[in-house]
Amino acid sequence: MVILAIAVPVPLRKTFYYTHTKPLALGVRVEVVFASRALVGVVVDCMDLLADIALEQHGEPSKFKPIGTVLDDVPIFSQSWLSLLHWLANYYQHPIGEVIQTALPNALRKAQSSQPIPISTIALVPSLAALNIQGNDITQTVPFINLKRAQRQFALACYVAAKTQDEDVDGVAKDEIKQHFSTSLINNLIRKEVLIESHQYLRSGCWHDQKGVEHFANISGLPANVEQSIAITGICAQLNQFGCFLIEGITGSGKTEVYLQVINKVLQQRQQVLILVPEIGLTPQTVSRFESRFGIQVGVLHSGLTDKERLTVWHQARLNHIGIVIGTRSAIFTPLPELGMIIIDEEHDDSFKQQDGLRYHARDLAIMLAQKQGIPIVLGTATPVLETLHRAMTGKFQHFKLEQRAGDAAVAPVHLIDICQQPLQFGLAPATLDVMQTHLSQGNQVLLFINRRGYAPAVVCSSCGHVEDCVACDKPMTYHKAQSRMVCHQCLAHVIAPHQCGACGATDLITQGIGTEQLEQGLGELFPQYSTIRIDSDSMRGKHTLSNTIEAINQRQHQILLGTQILAKGHHFSHVTCVVIMDVDGALFSADFRAPEKLAQLITQISGRAGRADKPGETFLQTTQPGHPLLQDLVNNGYGHFARFALHEREQATLPPFTYQVVLRAEDEIPQRAIQLLEFARHLLTNMKNISTLGPMPCLIEKKQTRHRYMLIIQSPYRDLRQKVLDAIIDDYAHYANKSRIRWSIDVDNIDFN
């Protein structure tokens, strides 16, 4: 008999002991009973019961329950992944059982087999398939002619014939066909011996066996300019060893071409590549760019997949059936046995940091993974975060700059428009309307950025001044006119838009401020001859809406594009020559020291979406603070200069990356209770050398869903010391916090104070 240490998905910072009749490999999933619930845990340690140490440490073996079913023959996690997960749990001070659960694909969090699921495919029967592949008109064959009276059956047979011929495949996934035709229709044609069904396990064999080494050696990229060549040569000279590379490349400077050329070298070595991208940047165009260059299937992981689809990619990656995986944050957990390189595109993007549960940063985890595996990691962006830039400037990362745009396109100049005491129409100043008119009448497109969805951010009573607040958050609710609703953008609660003031009953309610919905309406009035398209999360619901809209924009079906954050990421609009950013002032006076950095990134990213070689763009910022040093620096010298100056300021103020922060948050309906908990932490940390605390104080989002939110900022100039101190206090703190039943969290290397 052996004792197993099992990581169980519960919020407790330890593993639990169970017994089993024989040793199990570490990383295998097992069913266990925990507090009379059946849970799926993972074996993290296995010891011989007879060993003295085991007995001494864990007491009588009779105390431990036996495990239930063993779910895997082969461990889900390799040894190196298990140790990485232990590192994650330690570094982010998160319970190991929950860390391991985060790393599992959803489908494997349940007691489900980890054997690959057979994929059901439908094909034409062999005799018809042969004719079809030879390019004969299959509809003229007897079986098809016989079907012509049954329209749907005929359509289905034609669908399968066309699919297998166009894509040169043996069959079509049944799930895919079921999106268009019913199961009974499919079964009918199987009975009539027109179609056959087969169950396939994943394609066997490695991805590179199908292509051979010459295939990749013969792929030639676009001609690289001098800067690109330096980066490509530099990275390729250091494959098969750990190294971090930052590619600081202005938009349009050809970062992706650098990625593609170094990826090709890695594929030639028969190694796999993992590419992480921001959620919004993962479009079908991105994926097809990789697929068409390399002629191999690319595994894609994003939040829109079903558990089954996600698991399939997980299997394909793990069995080395695919060479490239592109995905968003959690794709970092994909098992890639032959991993040879990691690329993080748009490394500045906040979506790489998980903001609940295990608050890990995928970039930082990727760096640890690369180090463990002894492989290179490439970070690319036009606007590196100051933490990354600092590491590059101090030599921890190798730094490549791409400052030339392809085809010598000029970088869009940025201009400020002073909106002080200007008569605004729908938030737009006369000067802004003039430049828009100029660009539009030249047949170009204009892009307006406004960071507020809905019609208006507040509804106010003009009799008594009462503002319609969210009762749970104490914040004004946003008026969404199209749905006649008031929505709280913090907690998403909504009510029917009122006709009367909630305080005095008066009916003269007015809206305050401008949101996308109102601006869209306004632009229709101001520029009736041009078509305006609104792009925000309200208007872009549905799977293909966004990519269809972008397509329509590039075909110039719309002249004015208006939208939120979605516009800032990834998409390029070559007919846009004028970018207007409506309101930049909020970030200039934020309590978050990162707000100016984020604003500068946003402005640079949005400006970069516009123009091309023969049609340079320009960007206009509306502000009441045209003299503000940050804006002046950004406008005159660009992000690179701004960021280096901002780093200098951070150093003066001893802020990250020159110090290491942790934020403890506590939320409760009674503010005093949250404060008390944080006071307890502060007390544990008093008189510790080189550790300072700030707070307890309200978070930037002070109240959400009836809970008052407070934080304690802990910082130290030494990362190791911070770790040691957290290790020392976390058990006491967690114990106290769990006992008091207050909602709390710990956020190591936080990126905001919300």
Stretch of 238-246, 302-310, 500-508, 603-611 contacting Zn ion, by CB under 5 A:
500-508
* Residues 573, 288, 607: CA angle, nearest 5 degrees: 20
- DSSP secondary structure code for residue 139 in this structure: G
488-495's contacts with Cβ under 8 Å and 24+ in sequence apart are: 489/453, 489/454, 490/701, 490/704, 491/704, 491/705
Q: Which of 55, 150, 491, 688 binds Zn ion (CB under 5 A)?
A: 491
282 vs 488 by CB, closer to Zn ion: 488
**Residues within window 410-429 making contact with Zn ion, judged by CB under 5 A:** none
501 binds Zn ion (CB under 5 A): yes
Stretch of 236-244, 258-266, 495-503, 510-518 contacting Zn ion, by CB under 5 A:
495-503
169 vs 464 by CB, closer to Zn ion: 464
Distance between CA atoms of 10 and 15, rounded to whole angstroms?
Answer: 10
Distance between CA atoms of 387 and 655, rounded to whole angstroms?
Answer: 11
CB of 717 to Zn ion, least distance (A): 38
CB of 38 to Zn ion, least distance (A): 36
DSSP calls for 661-701: EEEEEEEESSHHHHHHHHHHHHHHTTT-TT-EEEEEEEEEE
Tokens 């097992």 -> residue: 30
CB of 507 to Zn ion, least distance (A): 9
Three-state secondary structure call for residue 244 = strand
453 vs 650 by CB, closer to Zn ion: 453
283 vs 483 by CB, closer to Zn ion: 483
Other CB atoms within a 10 A radius of the CB of residue 284 amount to: 11
498 vs 640 by CB, closer to Zn ion: 498
Q: Which of 410, 464, 510, 613 binds Zn ion (CB under 5 A)?
A: 464
402 vs 470 by CB, closer to Zn ion: 470
472 binds Zn ion (CB under 5 A): yes
463 binds Zn ion (CB under 5 A): yes
Q: Which of 1, 504, 552, 653 binds Zn ion (CB under 5 A)?
A: 504
466 binds Zn ion (CB under 5 A): yes
DSSP H helical ranges for 515-628: 516-526, 545-554, 585-588, 595-607
433 binds Zn ion (CB under 5 A): no
- DSSP secondary structure code for residue 354 in this structure: -
Q: Which of 130, 155, 503, 552 binds Zn ion (CB under 5 A)?
A: 503
Distance between CA atoms of 657 and 600, rounded to whole angstroms?
Answer: 18
CB of 701 to Zn ion, least distance (A): 10
Stretch of 52-60, 158-166, 208-216, 471-479 contacting Zn ion, by CB under 5 A:
471-479
326 vs 470 by CB, closer to Zn ion: 470
* Residues 10, 16, 19: CA angle, nearest 5 degrees: 135
169 binds Zn ion (CB under 5 A): no
Distance between CA atoms of 349 and 277, rounded to whole angstroms?
Answer: 9
458 binds Zn ion (CB under 5 A): no
Strand partners, 576: 445
The answer to whether 630 touches 588, Cβ cutoff 8 Å, is yes
Stretch of 40-48, 60-68, 347-355, 457-465 contacting Zn ion, by CB under 5 A:
457-465
Is the preceding peptide bond at 23 cis, omega within 30 degrees of 0?
no
238 vs 500 by CB, closer to Zn ion: 500
CB of 591 to Zn ion, least distance (A): 20
Which uninterrupted H or E stretch holds 415? Answer: strand 414-418
Q: Which of 67, 124, 287, 461 binds Zn ion (CB under 5 A)?
A: 461
# chain residues binding Zn ion, by CB under 5 A: 15
CB of 501 to Zn ion, least distance (A): 3
Q: Which of 325, 392, 470, 725 binds Zn ion (CB under 5 A)?
A: 470
225 vs 463 by CB, closer to Zn ion: 463
Give the pair of three-digit tokens for residue 412: 């869009």
471 binds Zn ion (CB under 5 A): no
Three-state secondary structure call for residue 698 = strand
CB of 696 to Zn ion, least distance (A): 22
DSSP calls for 3-49: EEEEE-SSSSSS-EEEEESS---TT-EEEEEETTEEEEEEEEEEEET
| Among candidate residues 512, 478, 515, the one with its CA nearest the CA of residue 497 | 478
- DSSP secondary structure code for residue 456 in this structure: B
10 vs 701 by CB, closer to Zn ion: 701
Distance between CA atoms of 42 and 75, rounded to whole angstroms?
Answer: 9
473 binds Zn ion (CB under 5 A): yes
Q: Which of 388, 490, 532, 659 binds Zn ion (CB under 5 A)?
A: 490
CB of 233 to Zn ion, least distance (A): 53
| Among candidate residues 280, 355, 278, 351, the one with its CA nearest the CA of residue 754 | 355
478 binds Zn ion (CB under 5 A): no
509 binds Zn ion (CB under 5 A): no
CB of 464 to Zn ion, least distance (A): 3
270 vs 466 by CB, closer to Zn ion: 466
- Which amino acid appears at position 292 of this protein? S
DSSP calls for 92-134: TT--HHHHHHHHS-GGGGSS---SPPPEEEEEE-HHHHHHHHT
Q: Which residues bind Zn ion (CB under 5 A)?
A: 461, 463-464, 466, 470, 472-473, 488, 490-491, 493, 501, 503-504, 506
